[in-house]
Chain A
Amino acid sequence: DSGVTQTPKHLITATGQRVTLRCSPRSGDLSVYWYQQSLDQGLQFLIQYYNGEERAKGNILERFSAQQFPDLHSELNLSSLELGDSALYFCASSVDPVPYGYTFGSGTRLTVV
């Protein structure tokens, strides 16, 4: 157990639907990162939150949004889902600005049918 908890582990939904992925960071970590892993694009950075505020944005679609709550857990919302959104979504947390590697969660496997 890495200490980063992601729920659900698997999610199957239909095109056009909206889903919410949840992440609880490791105790003491203030930063949360979201990554998308797909076969064609590899691991892509989506967005980072630090202590409740958006810190950096990557290749995140306008249909996707995220937030970090006062208890530091984060949610990634994916709407108007398309088949191409099927991927593994990782959350990671870290103690910034300490420059260590992240601790990753085990991911949420999203399948859009």
Chain B
Amino acid sequence: AQTVTQSQPEMSVQEAETVTLSCTYDTSESDYYLFWYKQPPSRQMILVIRQEAYKQQNATENRFSVNFQKAAKSFSLKISDSQLGDAAMYFCAYRSRGAGSYQLTFGKGTKLSVIP
């Protein structure tokens, strides 16, 4: 079974600075998807960014980018120019590419605080 580990329960960043959230995963599969989800106090789960394992290029979405290291099974999220609205829980998630099984395996989450 796949596992996802987020080793930083809490992090903080100054507004306008850059922060990196860590995620490692364990899998025997070679093809899969990785995601970062944001959960603000409203508790809504919001997809931040997605990475396909067969793509070597790191995904980017505006101020959010990932550092995907397949051999190391590492998938970190970098938030640039942090804003107050970025304060939330961030969850790393894994999904197999296997047919018929689209469930997500989540890490425990990292609580990000943004300091004005």
A interface vs B, CB < 8 Å? 2, 31, 33, 35, 42-43, 45, 48, 55-56, 58, 88, 90, 92, 94, 96-97, 99-104, 106-107, 109
B interface vs A, CB < 8 Å? 33, 35, 37, 42-47, 50, 52, 91, 95, 97, 99-109
Contact A100–B50 (Cβ < 8 Å): yes
Q: What's the least CB distance linking B45 to chain A, in Å?
A: 4
Instruction: Tell me the bound Cα distance from A97 to B33 in angstroms.
Output: 13
Instruction: Tell me the bound Cα distance from A58 to B44 in angstroms.
Output: 22
Specify the main secondary structure of chain A where it touches its partner.
Answer: strand
Name the residue on A nearest B107 (C-beta): A42
Q: Which of B45, B50, B95, B101 contacts A104 (CB 8 A)?
A: B45
Contact B42–A96 (Cβ < 8 Å): no
A35 contact set on B, CB distance < 8 A: 104
Total A-B residue contacts, Cβ distance less than 8 Å: 57
Contact A48–B44 (Cβ < 8 Å): no
Contact A33–B43 (Cβ < 8 Å): no
B103 contact set on A, CB distance < 8 A: 33, 45, 48, 56, 58
Q: Which of B43, B99, B101, B102 contacts A88 (CB 8 A)?
A: B43
The answer to whether A43 and B106 touch (CB under 8 A), given A56-B100, A97-B99, A104-B44, is yes
Contact A45–B104 (Cβ < 8 Å): yes
Q: Looking at B46, B102, B107, B109, which has the most chain A CB atoms within 10 Å of its CB? A: B102
Instruction: Tell me the bound Cα distance from A31 to B37 in angstroms.
Output: 19
Name the residue on A nearest B91 (C-beta): A43
Name the residue on B nearest A45 (C-beta): B103
Contact B104–A102 (Cβ < 8 Å): yes
Contact A101–B106 (Cβ < 8 Å): no
